[in-house]
Every structure is written in structure tokens, then in C-alpha cells.
Structure 1
């Protein structure tokens, strides 16, 4: 499986990241089968969060790590400081609490990649970087990043870190997909647009995309006339996205692959380091992702898929 490097880790991560938002102990047999199969295919990183399945995702992963005794072989990406009904939670008390609870649930004493699940623009980036650096110095975190932040705030945080001899953010996890979001899928979430991607190309910061296949938009199960999935209609149904769908379908036929594999290949063939969080629940879906991750696309093909420009 292909890999990229993230500053702060001593080994590369695979470009396919196993998602776990549905994991919980009462389906542990399914969880262990999914994770065993993913590792057997060469994957090495699991994405989770303090809030996934009301915390049960981390619990299930911790059970599996303990049972398999393979913590050193697996890279854990988890996230904290997600807002609650009372508002933002990007502060010392909440960050410390969420990290401590995640460590306990995962049955580990360190997190490889720790991300803040949302931002609070009212909190100075200096405060955030200082808090997270305390945990890095204590050995509880290896590398820090963010999910659903603006590039402006990421840039400000890293400029502060550089100026003050601190460790800054070394990865970012927004949504990036061939289908462009009309509005946030989740409250406060961010999808990478042209300007956002240009910043990543300039900085070469790794982008770890969630919903990289647009929540099933490219499965072939939906049409412009089928409006049964309200969230897909709300976020991804647009003339421009259906045109991208048609181009992806055309390219898939030319390359003798599937539509959804082209959608995944689009994410993994950007001019900057990228990974895709995937959620296969069976061997067929995992193999499809693996094959899609190995499809090379030229810069011209990526541009054509997105904008319809003439391919060379």
C-alpha cells in the first residue's frame, strides 16, 4: 500500500486510512474482522475520535489493540475538542479531558496523530499551540493537526509555532472529494475548494480527507432524479457535480475500473500529499479501495475530472 510521511512520526502512514465512526464493542467481531483484514492488506492507520459512537469507537479499537498486542504496529489518529450543545470546546480543560479519556479508552499511553476536531476562532492560536505542545513534551502525542479548520488559522498557528520554537500542525483533515460540497455536511465542517487546495500545494502539508468518496455519491446508486437521500441532495446534488460524475464515469470506462475507484483516485493523485479515510465493511469494498488507490492519474486528468478542461 502506498504511503506518505508526516512530520513527527518515525514511520510513514498508508494513504488508505481505516475509518471507525460506526465501531462499538457490541459489534466487536465485525470491528476485529474489518481491522484484521485492513492490516493484512498493508494498511497501518486507524481514524477515530473522542465523539465517534458516543466514545465507543475508541473503546472497541482499544479492545482490539489489547487483544492483538500490536500497538507499535498501528498508527492511531484520534480527535478531540468537538463542540457540544453548549458551544465550542477548544480550551485547556476540554482538550486535556478529551485526550485523557481517549488514551484510557484506547488502552495506550500515547497518540500518534492528534487533531482538534473543530476550531474556535475566538481562542488565540498561541494558546492552542502552547497547550498541545505540553502534551507533545510529555510524550502523550507525537504529532498534532486539525480537522475542519480554515487554512488562514492553520497558517497563523504554524507561524506562531515557528516564531516561538514550538511544534506546529503537520497534517490537516478536511473533506476533499471530486464532488464539491454546496454547504457543510456536518455543522462547522470544511470541504477543500480550489483555493484551499492551492494552499496545500504551496505548503505541501499532508491532507487526510474524510468522506473522500462523497458519502456514496459515486457508488452508482444515485441519480439526479433520485432524491431519497436528503443529506446527499442538500450537500452534493448540483449540476456541476453531476457533470463531474459523468466525466468520472467516462474515465472509469476508459481505464476499465469502477466509478467510485476513480473518485478515490482523484483524491489520492493531488499535487500534494493526501490520504483518504475509507469505511469498507467487507472484503469486496476493501479490495475496491485498494485497487482505486493504485490508479495513477495525470495532473491533466485530475483537472479534467474537476473542471472539464481539455485533456492532453
Structure 2
């Protein structure tokens, strides 16, 4: 599988990252193992999970995805072949309370959470550790100092953030630079081909803004990763309507161009969206997810879709 750097001088990772959100809950052990094996057999090495996955599917507390991955890696003996990412900050501290009782990003919370994650993952290091949701109740300097301590101790290789506004990402970069701390090497945001409607609300999730795209283009040391790039099947499934946050005339115009280019390239709309992310500026690493081997195979074949500069331009300029 094609490899890309995580930022200008960061580690090499697979161009398509496998999201493991439902593994161990809605996706049972047998199917999770099959999908993981399929991804690895295709040359993939980049796995994405979180300490709160997926508390909304069951017990009210997360950790199920990490636990399954830890068991799978131990059985396969393949930890050294995997670039493993997990997250801290959004796991509930009270069963059933959800994000209202999230652990946050204090120094104490981070140090406790990383040890819990390492235990569930059955490893002594995490390749990429994310601040999952920005915590404005804790000084950024405290959060970054805690992450830096984890990097210096060897528990964590690199750090990233998710669901941050652009100005907060820049503030974090400035603090790390001035204090000599490890810096965020990537940011993971909600991002897809369709553009959110003005004022669209995604609750705790933050969608990529035009400001963020420009920021990433001028800060090559920070990579952009996209979660929910395929809108849970809305580009391809009749039973999955376009989410209300995107629906409208602009979406209709962009879908029309997307379908034209899918026909021109003999690809699916899903594959064109993923290929567009990997070919556009800034280059974006998509997180793919699947609940069947067929879905995963479709996503993996996006790497074979070659878009011309003219097709990328048409996709970018499509609007109502």
C-alpha cells in the first residue's frame, strides 16, 4: 500500500488508515479479526482507535476497541508491523453519562488514560496519541507538557489532535515551539467531499474549515486526516440519505460532478472521494471503515483510481 509521511518529516504510514471504532462492539470479534487481516494483507499498517470506542454502543464506558486490538495483535504477534493510533480526552468517567462527563485533557487524566490504554492494547508504546476533543477548561500548556512527558518516556512516539479550531492548533504549535515540547504532527477532523451547510452543527465533532485547509497548506509539518469521509455510506446507498448538515443545492451540484467522474474512471463514488482526498491540496489521509469485507475491498481499491488534474479541478470547483 502507498505510504505517506505524517507531516513533512513525520513517520511513514499507510495512505488509507483503518478506523476501528466499532470493533469489539457492533462489529464482533470474528468479523473484526477478518477485516484487520484483510487490511494487513493489502499492505496496510495504520490502525486508528480511541479509549472511548465505543461507549455509545453498550456499557457506557469505552475501551472495547482497544481491548480487541490488543488481543488481535498478541495472537498475531504483529505489533512491530503496525502504526497504532489511539486517543484521550473524550472517555466518560461516569457510565451512561456520555461526553458530559468526559475525562478531559488535564495532566492527571492523560497520564492515567495512557496507562489504561497501554494495558488494554497489550503494548508498551503507542505510535500516535491524539487529544480527542479540545478541552478549554485546561491550559493548553498543561496538556502539551503531559504529552511531551509521554514522548520523552517512550510511551508515545508522536502526538496529534482532533476536533480543534484552527486558532487553537496554532496556539498549541506556538507553545510547543517556545517550550521545546513535542508538537502536534497531525490533526484529525470530520471531512468529506461535500461541504457543510452554513451553521451546520455536528455536536462535539468539528468539520474541516476553509481556514484549516489553508493553514495545513502553509504548515507542512502538520498532516490532515479525515474521519467520516464517506458519510456512513451516503454516497452509495439508497437507504442512507445525505446528512442534513450537508443537504442542499450545493451538495446536489457536487454529487452530479462526482458521479460523472466516477463514470469516467470506472470507479465508485466512494472510491473517487478517497482518491480526491489523496490527490488534492492539501493531501488528506482518509480513515476508512467497513462492516463487511466487500466494503473494505471497495475502499482499498480507491488506491488504484488515478484522477487527472482536470478532474480534480472539476471536483473542486463544482458548486450550485
Which is worse superposed, 151-160 or 281-290? 281-290
Q: Give me the TM-score of the superposition, normalised by structure 2.
A: 0.87
1:254 match: 264
Task: Measure how far apart 1:279 and its partner are.
Answer: 1.0
- Per the normalisation by structure 1, the TM-score is 0.89
Alpha-carbon displacement from aligned partner over 1:33-64 (angstroms, at most 9, x marks no partner): 11011000010011100010221011000000
The reply to whether residue 148 of structure 1 matches residue 127 of structure 2 is no
Q: 1:29 corresponds to which residue?
A: 30
CA pair 8-297 structure 1, distance change in 2 beyond 3 A: closer
Q: Is the 8 A contact 2:160 2:185 kept in 1?
A: yes
Q: Which residue of 2 aligns with 1:241?
A: 251
Contact 1:184 1:191 in 2 (8 A): no
Rounded to whole Å, the distance in 2 between the matches of 1:109 and 1:87 is: 25
Rounded Cα–Cα distance in structure 2 between residues aligned with 1:193 and 1:8: 21
Structure 2 residue 229 is matched with structure 1 residue 212: yes
Can you give the 5+ residue segments of structure 1 that lack an aligned partner in the other structure? 223-227
List 4+ stretches of structure 1 deviating above 3 A: 7-11
- Check the 8 A contact 1:58/1:102 in 2, yes or no: yes
Q: Which residue of 1 aligns with 2:312?
A: 302
SS, match of residue 192 in structure 2: coil
Measured after TM superposition, the shift of residue 292 of structure 1 is 1.2
Match of 2:195, SS?
coil
Distance in 1 (CA, whole Å) between partners of 2:9 and 2:40 is 19
Q: Residue 19 of structure 1: CA displacement? A: 1.1
Check whether the contact 1:8–1:143 (CA below 8 A) recurs between aligned residues. Answer: no
Q: Which residue of 2 aligns with 1:195?
A: 211
Match of 2:187 among 153, 167, 172: 172
Tell me, in whole angstroms, the C-alpha distance in 1 between the residues paired with 2:257 and 2:16.
24
* CA-CA distance at 1:82 after TM superposition: 1.0
Q: How many residues are paired up?
A: 301
Q: CA deviation at 1:87?
A: 5.6
CA distance in 2, matches of 1:10, 1:174: 19
Deviation digits for residues 208-236 of structure 1, max 9, x if unmatched? 111111222211425xxxxx75xx43322
Please say which of residues 53-62 and 93-102 is displaced more in the overlay: 93-102
Deviation at 1:66, TM superposition (A): 0.4
Tell me, yes or no, if the aligned pair for 2:52 and 2:90 is still in contact at 8 Å.
yes
The answer as to whether partners of 1:180 and 1:241 remain within 8 angstroms in 2 is: yes
Q: Is the Cα contact below 8 Å between 2:10 and 2:185 reproduced in 1?
A: no
Distance 1:297 1:193, change over 3 A: farther
Q: Distance in 1 between matches of 2:310 and 2:258?
A: 13
Moved more, 161-170 or 286-295: 286-295
Give the direction of change, closer, same or farther, for the CA distance of 1:264–1:8 in structure 2 (3 Å limit).
closer
Displacement of 1:193 in angstroms is 2.6
